[in-house]
């Protein structure tokens, strides 16, 4: 019988990790981390550094593009991304050392791959620990992206961090329709709870924006849907609003297409045709959505939100859309 190749790197560390706890659907493990502050030199994302305290995300959004990150650990079942959550081993002293590399003017993105305020953060407080250490920095820009209202827990810390750095929180809300959100983002907090967190942060003086990413063609792309998110964001005190069309890598397609087949079978063929040759859509459809979002934003009286959008820009020559 042929022997399996030995695991190396992050896959070996994941295989050797220890279970911290389990709940009905999810197993939590610790993961040794060589670094917490990861250098990001791609011109297609607006960060110099990224920090992701967790690997995997139990919110289980059907369109999540980060599922591929579990494949680095040889976990190829796309469901493992939302049921096997890894918390990185926290060592404040070595993180403090790593922070010496971050220079004024640079940008740190927190939660660029998985949600830094997913439920286990309530107990482990890794994101909060990171923010506490970041207080030594001065002159940097620090962005946090989340779907969780738990971020409001850290409003005082975020306000303190913003005294010497530019700090921005972005909360993702794709729809105000709780039923639709329950389908597409089954374990994430309700949209109204997320908007309440926007209001709490804004009241505390923390710069907070809302993004309706991803815009799901034929599902969340109506003017009424996007307008309701923008208006709720404005009412909650958000200072920015933005929305970009779905980016759907093959690993995400393996979850999203069966989801469509079950819940939106009438749209499946158009999605398959549109995303068959790549993750991005180009052409008239995203241009129309961009104009629509601009008009909605102007009507709501809310600024454009661009820089914190960490979904990479499409490479030149990606495919034409069919929507």
Residues that bind ligand SF4 (CB under 6 A): 57, 59-61, 64, 66, 114-115, 147, 188
User: Which residue, 55 or 234, has its beta carbon nearer to ligand SF4?
Assistant: 55
Dihedral over alpha carbons 120, 124, 125, 126 (to 10 degrees)? -100
Q: How far is the CB of 153 from ligand SF4 (least distance, A)?
A: 17
CA distance 67 to 133: 28
**Beta strand segments in 221-320, E:** 240-242, 303-304
Instruction: Pick the closest to residue 210 from 238, 245, 252 (CA basis).
Output: 238
List CB contacts of 147: < 8 A, sequence separation 6 or more.
Answer: 59, 61, 115, 117, 171, 172, 173, 185, 188, 189, 194
Q: How far is the CB of 118 from ligand SF4 (least distance, A)?
A: 6
User: Which residue, 102 or 124, has its beta carbon nearer to ligand SF4?
Assistant: 124
Q: How far is the CB of 151 from ligand SF4 (least distance, A)?
A: 12
How many helices, marked H, and strands, marked E, lie in the chain? 13, 12
Q: How far is the CB of 172 from ligand SF4 (least distance, A)?
A: 7
132: left (phi over 0), alpha (psi -120 to 50) or beta: alpha
CA distance 130 to 156: 14
Q: How far is the CB of 53 from ligand SF4 (least distance, A)?
A: 12
User: Which residue, 115 or 227, has its beta carbon nearer to ligand SF4?
Assistant: 115
**Distance (Å) of CA 119 to CA 27, 28, 147, 311, 321:** 13, 11, 11, 23, 36
**205 phi, psi to nearest 5 deg:** 90, 20
User: Which residue, 102 or 243, has its beta carbon nearer to ligand SF4?
Assistant: 243
User: Which residue, 140 or 150, has its beta carbon nearer to ligand SF4?
Assistant: 150
User: Which residue, 248 or 300, has its beta carbon nearer to ligand SF4?
Assistant: 248
CA distance 27 to 22: 4
User: Which residue, 66 or 158, has its beta carbon nearer to ligand SF4?
Assistant: 66
Q: How far is the CB of 188 from ligand SF4 (least distance, A)?
A: 6
Q: How far is the CB of 147 from ligand SF4 (least distance, A)?
A: 4
């Amino acid at each position: 019988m042929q022997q399996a190749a030995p695991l190396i790197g992050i896959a070996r560390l994941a295989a050797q990790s220890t279970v911290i706890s389990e709940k009905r659907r999810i197993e939590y493990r610790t993961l040794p981390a060589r670094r917490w502050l990861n250098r990001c030199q791609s011109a297609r994302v607006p960060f110099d550094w990224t920090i992701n305290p967790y690997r995997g995300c139990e919110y289980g959004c059907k369109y999540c593009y980060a599922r591929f990150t579990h494949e680095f650990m040889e976990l190829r079942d796309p469901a493992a991304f939302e049921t096997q959550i890894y918390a990185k081993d926290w060592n404040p002293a070595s993180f403090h050392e790593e922070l010496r590399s971050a220079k004024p003017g640079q940008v740190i993105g927190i939660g660029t791959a998985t949600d830094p305020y997913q439920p286990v953060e309530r107990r482990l407080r890794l994101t909060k620990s990171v923010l506490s250490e970041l207080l030594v920095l001065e002159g940097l820009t620090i962005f946090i992206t989340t779907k969780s209202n738990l971020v409001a827990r850290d409003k005082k810390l975020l306000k303190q961090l913003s005294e010497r750095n530019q700090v921005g929180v972005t909360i993702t809300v794709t729809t105000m329709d709780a039923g639709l959100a329950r389908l597409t983002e089954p374990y994430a907090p309700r949209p109204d709870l997320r908007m309440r967190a926007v209001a709490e942060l804004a009241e505390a003086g923390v710069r907070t924006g809302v993004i309706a990413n991803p815009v799901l063609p034929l599902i969340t792309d109506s003017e009424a849907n996007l307008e309701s998110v923008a208006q709720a964001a404005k009412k909650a005190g958000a200072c920015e609003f933005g929305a970009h069309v779905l980016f759907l890598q093959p690993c995400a397609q393996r979850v999203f297409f069966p989801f469509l087949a079950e819940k939106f079978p009438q749209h499946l063929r158009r999605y398959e045709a549109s995303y068959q040759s790549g993750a991005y859509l180009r052409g008239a459809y995203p241009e129309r959505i961009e104009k629509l979002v601009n008009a909605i934003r102007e009507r709501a009286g809310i600024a454009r939100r661009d820089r914190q959008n960490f979904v990479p820009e499409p490479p030149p020559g990606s495919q034409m859309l069919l929507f």
